[in-house]
Amino acid sequence: MATLSTINHDRKIFDKKYIYPVVSRRAGGLSLGINLNTNNACNWQCIYCEIPNLTRGKPEAIDIPLLKKELYFWLEEITQNNFLSKHTNPGTAFKDIAFSGNGEPTAAKEFSDIVSIVVEAVKDYKLESQLTMRIITNGSNMCDKSVQSGWDFIQSMKKEVWFKIDSVIHDEVKLINQINGSLGMTAKNLEASLSVSPTIIQTCLIKVGGKLPSKKSINAYIDFLKNYEDQLSGIHLYSLARPSEQNITLEIERLTQIELNQIADKIRVLNLPVHAFI
């Protein structure tokens, strides 16, 4: 079996602090992940979060020279040292570089500097036309000027923001994401994302106490996203891949493929590509 596959996501296989390769079904191949939250700190605390020892907070200061060294190491391994044929299944291609860590990546104060370092490295390896740059984010910092300008800076290659919205109902957001958000704030953050980047909504659907997301919840989600139908690039629906690492009293469960597909079909009333990943 290949060391890396869509079912083997162990980031610890390769001993690096910030940068790790994974084979991602949603990215469609090899993804080089950048983890800026090495202290496992996030400003949200989603009940399904798979990060062990998650704490509330911000990332610690980033060791930029080390991050850069790791980035060049991996780009060299992938492009010059047959990493793909040694560690992945035949046909796997290098697809993206994704800010996707153990917490919210845009909370790092060095975020925009790191974006420009990555773009420079991608250019050095002449990978601009092959790779997409992605942020996998809860969207809460998308109005931040430095995040905006950092992401706007990417002009020479494809980019995408994968923007988390699990629900648009206040009480559900409070329960699932454990934040006191407002729909107005979500809208502002989403609009900020759309102003600098193609944006895909990523939605984790779970059963809480044995109950599927309600009709009311799905209808409110559709109504909200209807406002952005012409600007969004798509919707990714998924459910739990691994058990939650959070200390919760609620019973949560993954949806079956059939349940996820049924919700995806409802959401397809929107004029957007909707993909359901289990």
Question: Site residues (CB under 6 A) for ligand SF4?
Answer: 42, 44-46, 49, 51, 54, 103-104, 138
Report the residue number, 94 or 163, with the smaller CB distance to ligand SF4: 163
Shortest reach from residue 40's CB to ligand SF4, in Å = 9
Q: How far is the CB of 140 from ligand SF4 (least distance, A)?
A: 8
3-state DSSP assignment of residue 34:
strand
The nearest distance, CB 249 to ligand SF4, in angstroms, is 17
Q: Please choose, from the candidates 28, 32, 24, 26, the residue with its C-alpha nearest in 3D space to the C-alpha of residue 8.
A: 24
Cα distance between residue 126 and residue 69, in whole Å: 18
Counting Cα atoms < 13 Å in the Cβ hemisphere of 66 gives 12
Give the 3-state secondary structure of residue 136: strand
What is the DSSP code (8-state) at residue 107?
Answer: G
Could you give the C-alpha distances from 112 to 117, 148, 151, 154, 220, in angstroms and in order?
9, 8, 7, 10, 34
Q: List, edge to edge, every strand of the sheet that includes 199-204.
A: 19-24, 29-34, 94-99, 132-137, 158-164, 199-204, 234-238, 274-277
- Compute the least distance from the CB of residue 36 to ligand SF4, in Å: 11
Least CB distance to ligand SF4 at residue 89 (A):
27
Q: For helices 215-226 and 257-267, what crossing angle results, to 10°?
A: 40
Q: Which is nearer to ligand SF4, 78 or 165 (CB)?
A: 165
**Closer residue to ligand SF4 (CB): 94 or 151:** 151
Question: Which one, 204 or 270, has the nearer CB to ligand SF4?
Answer: 204
Q: Say how far apart CA 24 and CA 151 lie, in whole Å.
A: 22
**What sign does the dihedral 102-139-266-220 (CA atoms) show?**
positive
The smaller minimum CB distance to ligand SF4, of residues 54 and 154, is found at 54
Q: Which is nearer to ligand SF4, 20 or 44 (CB)?
A: 44
